Chains A and B, each alone.
Chain A
Amino acid sequence: MDHLTIHFPVGRSRLLGRQQQVVHAVEDVSFSINRGETLGLAGESGSGKTTTGRAILRRIDPKRGTIRFRGRDITQSSGQALRHLRRHMQLVFQDPYASLNPRMNVLDLVAEPLIVHGIYNSTDDAREYVLELLEQCGLSADTADRFPHAFSGGQRQRIGIARAIGLRPEFIVADEPVSALDVSIRAQVVNLLQDLQDELGITYLFIAHDLSVVRHISNRVAIMYAGQIVEIADRDTIYERPLHPYTEALLSSIPVPNPQLQRDRRRIVLSGEIPDTLEPPSGCRFASRCPLVEERCHVEMPSLSPRSETHDAACWVR
Chain B
Amino acid sequence: MADRLLEVDGLQVRFFTRRGVVHAVRDVSFGIERDETVGLVGESGSGKSVTSQAIMGLVEFPGSITAGDVRWKGQSLVHGPTAAADIKRIRGNEVSMVFQDPMTSLNPVFTIGSQLTEVTRRHLGYSKMQARERALELLDLVDMSNPRQRFKQFPGELSGGMRQRVLIAMALSCEPELLIADEPTTALDVTIQAQILELLAELQEDLGLSVLLITHDLGVVAGTCDRVCVMYGGRLAEVGPIDDVFETPTHPYSRGLLNSTPRIDEVTSRLVSIDGAPPDLVAPPIGCPFAARCEACSDRCISEMPELATIEKGRDVACWHPFTAS
Q: Which residues of A contact B (CB under 8 A)?
A: 44-45, 152, 154-155, 182-188, 190-191, 194, 209-213, 215-216, 235-236, 239, 249-263, 267, 269-271, 273-274
- Quick one: closest B residue to A260, CB to CB? B243
Q: Which B residues are closer than 8 A to A by beta carbons?
A: 43-44, 159, 161-162, 189-195, 197-198, 216-223, 242-243, 246, 256-258, 260-265, 267-268, 270-275, 277-278, 293
A255 touches B217 (CB 8 A): yes
Measured CA separation A267–B256 after assembly (Å): 27
Q: Is the CB of A273 within 8 A of B192?
A: yes
- Contact at A183–B261, with CB atoms within 8 Å? yes
Measured between beta carbons, the chain B residues less than 8 angstroms from A256 are 219, 222-223, 263-265
- Beta-carbon nearest neighbor of B192 in chain A: A273
Give the contacting residue for A258; candidates B193, B216, B220, B246; CB below 8 A: B246
Are A216 and B267 CB-contacts (below 8 A) given A155-B277, A270-B195? yes
Contacts A212-B263, A262-B223, A270-B191 known; A187 to B243 CB distance under 8 Å? no
Contact A257 B159 (CB under 8 A): no
Chain B residues lying within 8 Å of A263, measured Cβ to Cβ, are 223
Contact of A249 among B191, B258, B277 (CB under 8 A): B191
Q: Known: A185-B277, A250-B190, A257-B218. Contact between A215 and B262, CB under 8 A?
A: yes
**A236 — which chain B residues lie within 8 A by C-beta?**
267
Pairs A–B under 8 Å by Cβ, sample size 28: A152-B277, A183-B257, A184-B273, A187-B261, A188-B273, A190-B271, A212-B262, A212-B264, A215-B262, A215-B264, A216-B267, A235-B267, A250-B190, A253-B193, A254-B219, A255-B219, A256-B222, A256-B265, A257-B221, A257-B222, A257-B261, A259-B242, A259-B243, A261-B222, A267-B194, A270-B194, A271-B195, A273-B192
A59 to B273: give the CA distance in the assembly, Å.
34
CA distance in complex: A273, B43 (Å): 29
**B-chain residues with CB within 8 Å of residue A271 when the two chains form the complex:** 195
Residues of chain B with a CB closer than 8 A to A239's CB: 264
- Chain A, residue nearest B193 (CB): A253
Determine if A251 and B264 form an interchain contact, defined as CB atoms under 8 angstroms apart.
Answer: yes
